[in-house]
């Protein structure tokens, strides 16, 4: 569930703990409206995030919040990834010149 880059990006954006609006999440993840809707629904269906509609003046705003289960699963996923990186496999590692610092990791 978490290995999809777009869902990982959504969860990572929610780690600080504050609710994030649909608009802010869209900007943070660079997902389209439709894709953000589908991916957040999938995360909500398994209990990793909560989706709430809140009133802001005359408007209704959709907000997302990370659940305890979602944070636990994200931590587990990151630990598994770290184990893969830490494993002594003897595989060739990229040189510093080959490494990328990709700012759009979540895209």
Residue-by-residue DSSP string for 41-105: HHHHHTTSEEEEEEEETTEEEEEEEE-HHHHHHHHHHHHHHHHHHH---------TTT----TTT
Classified as helix, coil or strand, 29 is: helix
Q: Please, are residues 44 and 89 in contact by the beta-carbon 8 Å criterion?
A: no
Taken in order of first residue, the domains within the chain and their CATH numbers are 5-78 (1.10.10.10)
pLDDT in tens, 6-57: 999 999 999 999 999 999 999 999 999 999 999 999 999 999 999 999 998 8
Distances (CA, A) of 32 to 36, 45, 94: 6, 20, 33
- Global confidence as pTM: 0.77
């Amino acid at each position: 569930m978490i290995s999809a880059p777009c869902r990982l990006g959504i969860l990572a954006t929610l780690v600080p703990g504050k609710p994030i609006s649909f608009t802010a999440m869209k900007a943070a993840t660079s997902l389209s409206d439709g894709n953000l809707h589908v991916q957040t629904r999938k995360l909500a269906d398994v209990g990793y995030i909560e989706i709430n509609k809140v009133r802001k003046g005359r408007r209704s705003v959709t907000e997302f919040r990370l659940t305890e289960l979602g944070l636990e699963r994200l931590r587990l996923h990151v630990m598994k990834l770290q184990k893969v990186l830490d494993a002594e496999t003897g595989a060739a590692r990229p040189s510093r010149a080959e490494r990328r610092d990709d700012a759009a990791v979540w895209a």
